[in-house]
Amino acid sequence: MLKNFNLHDAVLCEDVRQEITGKFLIIGAYSGNIMVSSFPANIAVNFYLPFEPLVSGEVLFSIRYSIENGATAILEGGVEVNAVGETSALFGPRVELPVGQEGALTIDFSEDGGKTWVAVVKKSIMLGVTASPFGTLFA
């Protein structure tokens, strides 16, 4: 249980951009497993994480991207909270990670300097067809 944040469902994607209007543009959202056509592979990932702050002032956090049996990247950040309970969103920089075999990607969140971690996204990385098996839903 986190003491500074209520986290909501995260979206795993390739990139997130914020428009000048304040809206977020989520690019390349993963709806299921991460599929790659061959190993080794490099995957570009980011996340969009809605949250509600439970405290005001500067709140620090860590985000950890990790590949099962592989690469790990830890990012440190913080937010200045002016309105407790007001929903906002976090997103990180796009991170490219090398993947050598099937496994999983996990993105974890910590608010205590990395002593404890809460998983916000976990997706399997698999070898297979990278196109959608469903095709176009609406024409």
Mean pLDDT by 10 residues, the chain (139 residues): 92 96 95 94 96 95 94 94 92 93 96 96 91 58
Amino acid at 79: V
Burial of 50 (0-12, 13-18, 19+ CB in 10 A): middle
Residue 89 corresponds to which tokens in the numbers above?
Answer: 């969103």
**Full-model pTM:** 0.88
What integer pLDDT is reported at residue 135 of this predicted model?
60
Helix then strand then coil, in percent of the chain rounded to 5, is: 0, 55, 45
Residues 129/34, Cβ–Cβ less than 8 Å: no
Nearest alpha-carbon partner for 74 in 48, 107, 120, 118: 107
Instruction: Give me the pLDDT at residue 43, please.
Output: 95
Check residue 132 and give its pLDDT: 60
> How many Å apart are CA 41 and CA 102, to the nearest integer?
10
In the chain, what are the domains? 5-127 (2.60.40)
